[in-house]
Amino acid sequence: MAPVASKANPLLSSIPWRRITLRTICSGRIAQAPSPSPAEPSVADSEAVVTGKKILETFSEEFEIGSRKITLETGKIARFANGAVVLGMEETKVLSTVASAKSDGARDFLPLTVDYQEKQFAQGVIPNTFMRREGAPKERELLCGRLIDRPIRPLFPLGFYHEVQVMASVLSSDGKQDPDVMAANATSAALMLSDIPWGGPIGVIRVGRISGQFIVNPSMDELNLSDLNLVYACTRDKTLMIDVQAREISEKDLKAALRLAHPEAVKYMEPQIRLAAKAGKEKKEYKLSMVSEETYEKIRSMAEAPIEAVFTDPTYGKFARGEALDNITQDVKKKLEEECDEEGLKVLSKTVDTVRKKVVRKRIIGDGLRVDGRRLDEVRPLYCEAGNLPVLHGSSIFSRGDTQVLCTVTLGAPAEAQRLESLVGPPSKRFMLHYSFPPFCINEVGKRVGLNRREVGHGTLAEKALLAVLPPEDDFPYTVRVNAEVMASDGSTSMASVCAGSMALMDAGIPLREHVAGLSVGLVSETDPSTGEITDYRVLTDILGLEDHLGDMDFKIAGTRNGITAIQLDIKPAGIPLDIICECLEPALKGRLQILDHMDREINVPRSQDGRNSPRILTLRYSNDAIRRLIGPLGALKTKIEEQTGGRISVSDGLLTIVAKNQSVLDKVMEKIDFIVGREIEKGGVYKGVVTSIKEYGAFVEFNGGQQGLLHISELSHEPVSRVSDVVSVGQVLNVMCIGLDVRGNVNLSLKANLPRPESKTTPAARESVDPVQQKPKVWKQENKVDQPMGSGEGLSSVVIRSAAECDEEEKSAGVNQNSKAKAPVDATKLKLGMELTAKVHQIRAHGLVLDLGGGIRGMYRFETGSRREFQVGEELQVKCSSFSSKGIPVMSLIQH
């Protein structure tokens, strides 16, 4: 420590300092800092004041998994927490802490709370909020909290009902690793260090696949290329949790990924055990809320027979069954009240639920029959309907048994994509599925609140299932929002949302590769009380809500005919063998194919977007100046256009994206934009303009965002016009067509090109020809000097007109001037612009034709880009004089019949 007198602040050096004796803490013990012995000389005021040091005893473990070095550390920070661990992988570090309440735990459930938080300081960023601090938990934080909760919850001992809180937060992030799996492993290590009874440790691993090769602990960049994102949690010999997002991975490949993930996840356990041996606390004796054997037998004897009668009657519906079971509970309660059995009344609800569980399990395992009378592999009756709300972009209803979901689809502009502010992953997402579980769907009374963990989790699962079949953003640039509204719930509402969402997307005209369907698979098992090993089990396809509650697992599997797109596995016991998990994939596939058959019969191809309610999206590129004119000061002009038309305009990187509800709205928006900004002038394009001035030879028209064009007197009407003012007036709005540009770059416009052609007298030279039908004007495009064969290339819409010098050079290279030297210049009084006549092909050149116009006059015709016609010498053509070269040679254009 620097001497006090040497500090920069002069006020500090003037203060008389006394020698201070401080205490240090080392491994939880308080020690006195050493003081100088009497024999030592006194220290001058200018010398340093020696203070004690605070020494923190830390413990760490270092290991490697999937080529990533991982560290576990405890003791440095959060020392007062019951358990605290910092897990690091490269430059990403996550802190996880656990604490338990000191209450007696007098309740019948485990109040476990898991909070995961990503604060912006982890990447050196100040939050972009009004208060400049983090607000309510974001969707990603809720999902990561669920990811931690699901594997640790089954390992708390039976009857442990003390409040436990897990708090995981990201300390630093380099953006290369997803902190969610790291937080789950850190939580396992923190629980191992604490005095809370828990049956861990667990290991959580992420597995990806790139080009058929599995990757353990992939980075974020590798995940972007991966067609599999598997998160797997397990104990040493059993599976606890599975979460999968995939691009139609086959059941065989998924089994291979699971069998690879298990031994890799187990590698996390030994370092946790070693760390707990160094720094862990002795497990505390907590009070467990257990039901005595005597009380259980008493309640079972009163409730088992009537409960079995209800469960063996398949005519009961969900609510009728629930009411009958509640009546049984009330009857048992009255008997216990008559006997004044306070202990039995206290555990009545929990004990009756245990009796129900055993009755259902015995019937399923012994008789192979389920509560509603179905076989074990039977799917409930299905009902599908697409397009039930025709006013919307897309809609559908899907029912499976008593579970019913209504889905709607809304398409929006790319700028309406959801912005994400997570530490890792993309900054936005253009596909959103919002799942809603209102109280009326289970006939309850409740109120709507903010983000619900269950709703967020179910919606994200359905979103991941459908994301795999969406078209790429380049082919379908819309932002898509799917609303899944649960109308009735009796199990597997998230999988019903997948089915309804797939049909609604097709009803909206979105070109999905395949339909996606999903269902839940359950498990009922018997275990050996002494060893906890499963001795017998049954797999249930398409489980009811009651079977989910009374069974051992809820295995949600969604996919197409080609493979799996999403999985979520939640279990209630302390692990299930991986072999049983893999066995469940086969009945899930059979049930999924049955559902897909019903969905295909309702709608199997995307609907056409030509309907009146189909949205339109158009992307245009403009210069920055043009976009600036369109937006206006503070975006006022853009807002005004949106209010007047009902369309939406978004700007990004020089691109202007317009989204309209239908074609009519899009036309209104384009009309406004063209008038303000204009668009690239095309020969043959029709524009709306205003006459600004009138001359003897024509009128000048302002169009296309302020550009000027000449409307020549010859282009006003098909009939001869003596005065321009007889046809148009200043301020008049006209629809004019661009017929070309002259050598000086002036835009030539035509009014008569948009007017119907009356029956007119033909010129003497063209009397024998049929009245020509004016073809849509082609465009001139500047070509390379290399000669190209006629008919090669494709027509382009942009107008590029040669200058006079380029035309002369072209004439020299084509040899037209050499043939015209012997001819006198054409008399303009005999051949005028717009005159139509019949000409013969005199010569065929590399870039055009030499035409015999009669009377010894030669004209030229330049090949148009995209022309695929072959000409022959002597062939007669219907042509029109479009301009004159600098040498006076008439330049002709073809008139197509």
Q: Could you state, in order of their start, the residue ranges of all structural domains in the chain?
A: 59-239+249-279, 293-367, 382-602, 616-677, 685-754, 835-894
Q: 100, 82 in Cβ contact below 8 A?
A: yes
Sheet-wide strand order for 112-117: 59-65, 68-74, 83-89, 92-100, 164-172, 112-117
Structural contact between residues 521 and 588, judged by C-beta atoms closer than 8 angstroms:
yes
* Residue 539 to residue 524: CA distance in whole angstroms: 7
Task: Give dist(CA 259, CA 581) in Å, integer.
Answer: 11
3-class state of residue 595 by DSSP: helix
| The two domains 59-239+249-279 and 382-602 share their CATH topology (first three levels equal) | yes
pLDDT score for 344? 84
Separation of CA 626 from chain center: 31
661 in Cβ contact with 615 (< 8 Å): yes
In three-state secondary structure terms, 858 is strand
Is CATH 2.40.50.140 what the domain over 835-894 is classified as, yes or no?
A: yes
Question: Among the listed ranges 453-462, 533-542, 814-823, which one has the minimum average pLDDT value?
Answer: 814-823
Query: Got the DSSP string for 343-385?
Result: HHHHTHHHHHHHHHHHHHHHHHHHH---TTS--TTPPPPEEEE
679 confidence band (pLDDT: 50, 70, 90)? low
Q: What percent of the chain has pLDDT over 70?
A: 82
The architecture that CATH gives domain 293-367 is Orthogonal Bundle (1.10)
Between CA 475 and CA 483, with CA 480 as vertex, the angle to 5 degrees is 150
- Name the residue among 253, 248, 180, 257 with its Cα closest to residue 557: 248
Specify the pLDDT at position 542.
Answer: 94
Q: What is the pLDDT of residue 6?
A: 39
pLDDT of residue 57: 85
Q: Is the peptide bond before 201 cis (omega within 30 degrees of 0)?
A: yes
DSSP assignment of 232-273: EEE-SSSEEEEEEEEEEE-HHHHHHHHHHHHHHHHTTHHHHH
Q: Which long-range contacts (CB under 8 A, 24 or more apart) does 543-546 make?
A: 543/491, 543/492, 544/318, 544/370, 544/371, 544/372, 544/401, 544/490, 544/491, 545/318, 545/489, 545/490, 545/491, 546/318, 546/321, 546/360, 546/371, 546/491
Asked if 264 and 208 count as a contact pair (C-beta separation under 8 A), the reply is no
d(CA 744, CA 804): 8
pLDDT in tens, 421-431: 888 988 899 99
The CATH number of 382-602, from 3.40.50.2300, 3.30.230.70, 3.30.70.20, 3.30.56.10, is 3.30.230.70
User: For residues 677 and 669, what is the distance between their CA atoms, to the nearest angstrom?
Assistant: 12
Of 164-178, 384-398, 473-487, 851-865, minimum mean pLDDT range: 851-865
Q: What is the DSSP letter of 823?
A: S
In sequence order, the β-bridge partners of residue 749 are: 711, 738
Q: What are 786-843's pLDDT values in tens digits?
A: 333 333 333 333 334 444 444 445 445 444 444 433 334 444 346 777 788 888 888 8
Q: Which CATH architecture best describes the domain 685-754?
A: Beta Barrel (2.40)
Q: Are 192 and 275 in contact (CB under 8 A)?
A: yes
- Which structure tokens are listed for 348? 């009545």
22: confidence class by pLDDT, cuts 50, 70, 90: very low
Q: Which candidate, 98, 111, 99, places its Cα nearest to that of 160?
A: 111
What φ, ψ does residue 735 adopt, rounded to 5°? -100, 110
* Superfamily of chain region 59-239+249-279: GHMP Kinase, N-terminal domain (3.30.230.70)
Is the predicted pLDDT of residue 1 greater than 50, yes or no?
no
Q: What is the arithmetic mean of pLDDT over 686-691?
A: 84
- Pairwise CA distance, residues 500 & 377, whole Å: 22
Residue 629 has pLDDT above 60, yes or no: yes
pLDDT for 870 equals 76
Q: Nearest 5 degrees, angle CA 635-CA 639-CA 644?
A: 155
Please state, in angstroms and rounded to a whole number, the distance separating the CA atoms of residues 222 and 229.
Answer: 10
Residue 651 pLDDT grade (very low, low, confident, very high; cuts 50, 70, 90): confident
Distance between CA 476 and CA 482 in Å, rounded?
A: 16
Look up the pTM and report it.
Answer: 0.72
Question: Which among 388, 250, 373, 389 is positioned nearest to 317, based on CA atoms?
Answer: 373
CATH of domain 616-677: 3.30.1370.10
